[in-house]
Structure 1
Amino acid sequence: MSTDQLLPTRHPNRPAAALRLSATIGVAEPEILGLDQLVRPGDVCFDIGAGYGMYTFPLADLVGPAGRVYAFEPLPVPHRILSTLHRRTRLDQVIIRRAAVGPVAGDQELVLPYRFGLPIHGWAHLNSGQVRSGRRISFSTTRILPTPVITIDDVCREQEVERVTFLKIDVEGFEPAVLAGAKEVLTRDRPTLLLEIEDRHLDKYGHSAAEVADSLRRLGYPMLAWRDRRWTPVTEVTTQGRNYLFSSDPAGLR
C-alpha cells in the first residue's frame, strides 16, 4: 500500500486540525497552540526543518490563501511524507523545497545517524561548521547525504518576498547559521522567531543556548516561552522546554 493510500482526503487541511488536537493532549509540540497569536491571514512564514509538517500545516491554516508558507526539509523520508500530505491537502499557499538552510548557498553533506538499522532523523545535521561531535550518543552507523543549502535572504530575493512575518527554525544546532543567512530579512522585517535551542545540539557547532539567547536579545528580541497556554517572558533557557520565541514586539502578541 502506498503512502498516498494511507492518508485522509476529506478535509482540505485536516492535518492542521489533527496537529492542534495532538498539541492539546501533549502529543505534538505545545507551541502549535500559540501560533494564532503570531500569524495572521496574508502573512509569509518560513518553516525551516519542516519534518513531516508539524508546523507547516497549522501555519498554512493561519495565513490562508493570501499568505505563503515556505517549508524546507532536506531528509528524504520526511520530505516525501510532507510532499504527499501537501498534494492531498492541495494548499496552494505552501511551497516545499527539499533543501537545508544555512549561511551561504551551496552543496553540503548532511549526516544521518542510524541505530538498529533505523534512521534517527532528530539527530541529522550538516557537517558544515561542525567543530566537535557534541553530546555522545551510540549509533551503529551514519549515512552521508549530499544536500543543497540555500539562504533565507536568497529565497526572498528569488521569490520576490516583500515581508517575512515568522521564522520557525529547528535544525539540530544549526540555528545560528540559518540566522546568519537571513541578515537582510532580520534587518528589514524584524520577523518573529521560534527557535529550538538546546545545548546538546548547539555544542557541536561551538555555540551554547545562553549565547544564542543573549545574541538575539542584543538585537532587540526579548525571549518568551509557551507556559500555561500563553507566551510568557523568560530570562534564560532551561530544561523546561526546548522551543523559545523571540519577538521584537512582545506587547503586540494577541
Structure 2
Amino acid sequence: MDELSFHTRLHRPGSILDVGAHDGLLTLPLSRLPGARVLAFEPLPSAFARLESAIRADYGAIPPHIELHPVALGAEPGHLVLSVPVLDGVPQEQWASTAKTYAGFGSVTVLRQEVAVTTIDALELPDLQHVKLDAEGFEEEVLSGARATLARCRPVLSLEVEERHRPGSTQDVPAMLAGLGYETRFILDGAWHPHAEFDAATMQVASPDPSIFAASDPYIFTFFAWPTERSAAIQAALSAG
C-alpha cells in the first residue's frame, strides 16, 4: 500500500497537510478526495513553481480548497537554510533539506538559501485529518511544532523517514509519536508490521552521500502512524477489500 492508497482508504472530510509537496505528485490526487481541503508546503522555489503550475493546469486556477505555501514547517517560526546538493550541474531537489548541510561530500556542490518557517500549530486547524510528511530529516521538528494539533485533531500520518538524512531518526520519530499516543507501522512483503520489528541495519542501508545511489533490499523508508485509540477501526479499514 502506498501513501495515496493509505490516505484514500482512511479518508475523512477535512484538512490534509502535504508537507514537502514538491511538484504536487500527491497534492493533486489528495485534493480530489470528497470534502478535502489541502494545504501544501514546499519551500524550494523551483519545486514550488512547478507545484503551482500543476495545480493551475489541472484546475484552471488555484481552487479555494487548495492552499499553496512556499515555506517550510518546523518546531518554531523563523528562518532556516535550505541546502540542495548539486551533481554534475544538476540540483538534486529530492535531497533538499533544512536538516542537512551536505558538508564534507567532495563529489557535490551545494546551493543554499534562507527560507521562512512556520509551525503546524500556528495554522490553528480545527479539522486536520491527514498528514503526509516528507522533510528529508526534519521530521522531528515538524512534529514538535504540531503537538497541540495532533492532540486536538488526531489525524493519520504517512512519513518518509531515512537514516541517511538523520541517523537514529527511524527510532526517534516513532518514539516521539508514541509519546503523543500514536502507533507506527510499516509494510514489508505485502503485510503490516509494528515498528518494533523494524531493523535499520538490514531494512534501510544507504549512503548519506547523494552521489551514491546503492541501497539495501528491502529499503523501507515509508512509515504509517495513527492514534492508538483508533487502531482497531483503522486496521480493519486498511485490510478491507
The amino acid of 1:185's aligned partner reads T
The one-character-per-residue Cα deviations of 1:5-58 (angstroms, maximum 9, x if unpaired) are xxxxxxxxxxxxxxxxxxxxxxxx933222212223x22110000111122122
Cα displacement (A) at 1:230: 6.5
Code of the residue aligned with 1:110 in structure 2: it is L
- In structure 2, distance between residues paired with 1:236 and 1:93: 39
Q: How many residue pairs are counted as aligned between the two chains?
A: 212
- 8 Å CA contact 2:83–2:102 kept in 1: the answer is no
Whether the 8 Å CA contact 1:193–1:245 is kept in 2: the answer is: yes
**Corresponding residue number in structure 1 for 2:182:** 221
1:235 shift after superposition: 2.4
Residue identity (%): 31
1:166 to 125, 130, 139: 130
1:187 deviates by 1.4
Q: Does 1:51 align with 2:51?
A: no
Corresponding residue number in structure 1 for 2:215: none
Structure 2 counterparts to residues 92-241 of structure 1, below 5 A: 92-126=64-98, 137-156=105-124, 161-203=125-167, 207-227=168-188, 232-237=193-198, 238-239=203-204, 240=218, 241=220
Deviation at 1:181, TM superposition (A): 0.7
Alpha-carbon shift at residue 222 of structure 1 (Å) = 1.3
One-letter amino acid of the counterpart of residue 112, structure 2: I
Q: Report the CA distance between 1:97 and its aligned residue.
A: 0.8
- Secondary structure of the residue aligned to 1:202 is coil
Kept after mapping to 2: 8 A contact 1:50/1:56: yes
Partner AA of 1:58 in structure 2: P
User: Aligned partners of 2:146, 2:109: CA distance in 1, in Å?
Assistant: 33
Residues in 1 aligned to 2:102 and 2:111: alpha-carbon distance in whole angstroms: 15
Counterpart-to-counterpart distance in 1, 2:93 and 2:179: 32
Secondary structure of the residue aligned to 2:166 is helix
Q: CA-to-partner distance for each residue in 1:47-82, whole Å, 9 max, x for gaps?
A: 0001111221221122x3x32110000112211111
User: Could you state the TM-score of these two structures normalised by the residue count of structure 1?
Assistant: 0.75
| Pairwise CA distance, 1:126 | 1.2
- The answer to whether the 8 A contact 1:68-1:94 is kept is yes
3-state secondary structure, aligned to 2:128: coil
Unaligned runs of 5+ in 2: 205-217
Q: Do residues 252 (structure 1) and 216 (structure 2) align?
A: no
| Whole-angstrom CA distance in 2 between matches of 1:138 and 1:45 | 39
Q: Provide the rounded CA distance (Å) in 2 between the counterparts of 1:122 and 1:236.
A: 28
Unaligned 5+ segments in structure 1 are 1-28
Once residues 38 and 232 of structure 2 are traced to their aligned partners in structure 1, the CA distance between those partners, rounded to angstroms, is 24
For normalisation by structure 2, the TM-score amounts to: 0.79
Q: Specify the alignment match of 1:14 in structure 2.
A: none
Which letter does structure 1 place at the counterpart of 2:7?
L
CA distance in 2, matches of 1:39, 1:229: 21
C-alpha displacement of 1:232: 4.8
AA aligned opposite 2:109: T
Query: What secondary structure sits across from 1:171 in the alignment?
Result: coil
* Cα pair 1:213 1:236 within 8 Å, conserved: no
Structure-2 separation of matches of 1:95 and 1:200? 31
- Structure 1 residues 133 and 118: CA distance shift in structure 2, 3 A: closer
Match of 2:53 in 1: 84
**AA aligned opposite 1:208:** S
Contact 1:113-1:139 within 8 A present in 2 as well: no
Three-state SS of the structure 2 residue aligned to 1:125 is coil
